[in-house]
Amino acid sequence: MTTATPRRDPVARPQATYQDVLDAPPHEVAEIVDGLLYTNPRPAAPHALASSLLGYYLTGPFQVGRGGPGGWWIIDEPELHLGDDVLVPDIAGWRRARMPIYPETAYFTLSPDWVCEILSPSTRKLDLEAKRPVYAREGVRHLWLVDPAERTLEAFECTAGEWTKIATAADDEPVQIAPFEAVSFSLADLWP
């Protein structure tokens, strides 16, 4: 398995631009972090399943208000333009109080209130080491890290730019974690 590696050498080449993202092959996810272009293939099946099912469990109660409080926009793979960085989290959520009108643009410039990264061998280092500090810098309040291989979820809250772990779940434990503590589902529902 390969890990995400930048396409550009920061010493020998200029910083990546949005045109580099647009020029990336359509079967790859392209992101810019700290001036470097990262490209990764589309997610593997376990990753895609965990992301899809997590979105399913959150969208009904939190976006639509079915069985929950509503008040959120929950989006799969939104393109975030945060300063000079271009990130594509697996799932992100905005409280409607902060983003009352859903934008018509191709990307979001308002940082999410919650981000979820589904960890995979090819993106783990990028998600943990490069993207997490950007999310903190931009004021993302909650970060969930879901690991299909380990069957775990770790939840973090950011205060004053620092991440603090607030909860963990493994295997078939119930998930009822901020900012989505109003409903509960079994973590086992995310695995094949």
Question: Whole-angstrom Cα distance, residue 61 to residue 80?
Answer: 24
Give the whole-angstrom CA distance, residue 64 versus residue 61: 6
| Full set of structural domains in the chain with CATH | 43-190 (3.90.1570.10)
Take residue 169 and report the two structure tokens written for it.
Answer: 């779940």
- Could you give the CA distance from residue 120 to residue 127 in angstroms, rounded to a whole number? 9
Rounded Cα gap, residues 79 and 24, in angstroms: 14
Tens-level pLDDT at each residue, the chain (192 residues): 334 655 544 455 679 999 999 999 999 999 999 999 999 998 899 999 999 999 999 999 999 999 999 999 999 999 999 999 999 999 999 999 999 999 999 999 999 999 999 999 999 999 999 999 999 999 999 999 999 999 999 999 999 999 999 999 999 999 999 999 999 999 999 999
Global confidence as pTM:
0.92
Cα dihedral 151, 111, 88, 183, rounded to 10, equals: 30
